[in-house]
Amino acid sequence: MERDGLSVEIISPGVLSTVQDLGRYGFQAFGMPVAGALDRYSLMVGNLVVGNDLRSAGLEITISGPELLFRSERLVCITGGDLSPKINDRDVPVWQGLMLHEKDVLSFGGARNRGARSWICIGGGIDTPPVMGSRSTYLRGGLGGHEGRRLERGDILPLGAPDIFSRRGEGFVVPRELRQNYIERPVIRVIPDPREALIAPEGVECFYTSSYRIGPDSDRMGYRLQGPLIRHKESPDMISDAVPWGAIQVPGSGLPIIMMADCQTTGGYPKIAGVISADLGLLSMMLPGDHLSFRRCAVTEAADASRALKGDLERVRVLLADHRSRPGAPSLGIPADNGAMLLKFGGEIFDVTWRII
């Protein structure tokens, strides 16, 4: 059972922790939802820092976060919101390359109003068996991830082999302006949908001028919004058609629903608008009770925003390459258990860690 060593054990699962990658594409025509990390950018940056393929699977954790026992030494990067991560009860920062040693415990103190979700990327990635080309957990369908379900106490997640340069990302800090930050009361950019014609003009006006609150029954399938009712012109039913992630449906109740990664592939409610891809990450940071509003935007603006996000990822790549190639520059590590400091030399040839007692 050599393989048994290359794993992470779930000591406690937190509110909702699942294995996610960039999603399961190619089967929406058969009714299969995409699933995947609610913030693709955060997952990709985390994977980059630990030396993984961008498509590697990480853990998506929600609000309180899990407690994980590492059975293998790995570089870890926690991206997304700040759920107060700790290594062996010592506070550690998010958006940084952190070295976890064998028997280290990664835990979380919970959300401090700095985002509802984080992604834990681990060098080598989580190596659960792919289902239909993806490791993403699709909870309702009970497939993908770890046994198709949320993680539970005692689960053991296998890890892949890390990139040989993975640990050189230790101490790398993603600059604040290149992070997905939590924003209070964000204005989410949307592209109006032609089906807006099924909604009364006052309803459309109301949607763009009101503040909405994320309702308690919101999840990875959809965010149900609370706020002023949006009236339809006539019937709220239409012939079912495709529903992408980010589409905002207005059902008969008049309360909009933002479709998220696990949403049904098709639906029969009028769509008033669609959230632009670059702003989906902002939604992933939000909790029930948080407020948001909407602003119309053109497809060209959406494209610019996506290009900017892609540019941010490239910028992280360049900074990381620079960090990794620093010859022998010692970087002050994190304090060790016994009060000593770990001093690291991350040179091209020497990659040595001394414990100074």
Partner 1 sequence: MTVLPGSVAANSHCFNNPRKGGSDLEGGTGYPRFSWCGDACLVAEFGDKIDPLINSMVRDLDLRIRGLKLPWLVETVPTYRSLAVYVDPWDSPREEVELAVTSLAREVKAKTMPSVAVVEIPVCYGGDFGPDLERVSMYTALGPDDIIRLHSSKLYRVYMMGFTPGFPYLGGMDPRLETPRLEDPRTLIPAGSVGIAGKQTGIYPIASPGGWNIIGRTPLVLFDPAGASPFLLEAGMEIRFVPVTGERFEEILSGNGA
Helix segments in the chain, DSSP class H: 40-49, 201-209, 277-284, 299-325
Q: Which of 88, 210, 277, 293 binds partner 1 (CB under 8 A)?
A: 277
For residues 216 and 203, what is the distance between their CA atoms, to the nearest angstrom? 23
Q: Which of 89, 300, 349, 356 binds partner 1 (CB under 8 A)?
A: 300
| DSSP state letter for 314 | H
Cβ contact 334:342 at 8 Å: yes
User: Residue 336's closest CA among 350, 324, 354, 352?
Assistant: 354
**# binding residues, partner 1 (CB under 8 A):** 49
Under the criterion CB under 8 A, does residue 303 sit at the interface with partner 1?
A: yes
Residue 42 CB, shortest distance to partner 1, in Å, is: 14
Closest to partner 1 by CB, 53 or 193 = 193
The two structure tokens encoding residue 336: 């060790």
Under the criterion CB under 8 A, does residue 33 sit at the interface with partner 1?
A: yes
Instruction: For 238-300, give the DSSP string.
Output: ---EE--TTEEE--TTS--EEE-TT--SEE-SPEEEEE-HHHHHHHHT--TT-EEEEEE--HH
Q: Which of 6, 12, 15, 28 binds partner 1 (CB under 8 A)?
A: 28
Residue 40 CB, shortest distance to partner 1, in Å, is: 9
The two structure tokens encoding residue 130: 């792919």
Find all residues with CB under 8 Å of 185, minimum gap 6, and list them: 211, 290, 291, 292, 293
Q: Which of 109, 141, 254, 288 binds partner 1 (CB under 8 A)?
A: 141
User: Residue 20's closest CA among 141, 130, 140, 162?
Assistant: 130
Closest to partner 1 by CB, 182 or 245 = 245
Buried-state track 246-265, b at ≥16 Cβ within 10 A, e below 16: bbbbbbeebbbbbbbbbbbb
The two structure tokens encoding residue 306: 């996506």
Under the criterion CB under 8 A, does residue 340 sit at the interface with partner 1?
A: no
Under the criterion CB under 8 A, does residue 240 sit at the interface with partner 1?
A: yes
Residue 344 CB, shortest distance to partner 1, in Å, is: 34
Under the criterion CB under 8 A, does residue 197 sit at the interface with partner 1?
A: yes
Residue 263 CB, shortest distance to partner 1, in Å, is: 11
Q: Which of 156, 161, 200, 298 binds partner 1 (CB under 8 A)?
A: 298
Residue 345 CB, shortest distance to partner 1, in Å, is: 37
Binding mask 39-78 for partner 1 (x = CB under 8 A): ----------------------------------------
For residues 91 and 352, what is the distance between their CA atoms, to the nearest angstrom? 24
The two structure tokens encoding residue 150: 């949320």
Under the criterion CB under 8 A, does residue 234 sit at the interface with partner 1?
A: no
Residue 8 CB, shortest distance to partner 1, in Å, is: 24
Residue 298 CB, shortest distance to partner 1, in Å, is: 4
Under the criterion CB under 8 A, does residue 264 sit at the interface with partner 1?
A: yes
The two structure tokens encoding residue 120: 């834990």
Under the criterion CB under 8 A, does residue 30 sit at the interface with partner 1?
A: yes
Under the criterion CB under 8 A, does residue 35 sit at the interface with partner 1?
A: no
Q: Which of 271, 323, 324, 344 binds partner 1 (CB under 8 A)?
A: 271
Site for partner 1 in 164-193 (CB under 8 A): 190-193
Binding mask 86-115 for partner 1 (x = CB under 8 A): ------------------------------
CB atoms within 10 A of CB 356: 8
Buried-state track 15-28, b at ≥16 Cβ within 10 A, e below 16: ebbbbbbbbbeeeb
User: Residue 120's closest CA among 163, 66, 174, 180?
Assistant: 66
- The residues binding partner 1 (CB under 8 A) are 25-33, 131-132, 140-141, 143, 190-194, 196-197, 239-242, 244-247, 264-267, 271, 274-278, 298-303, 306-307, 309-310
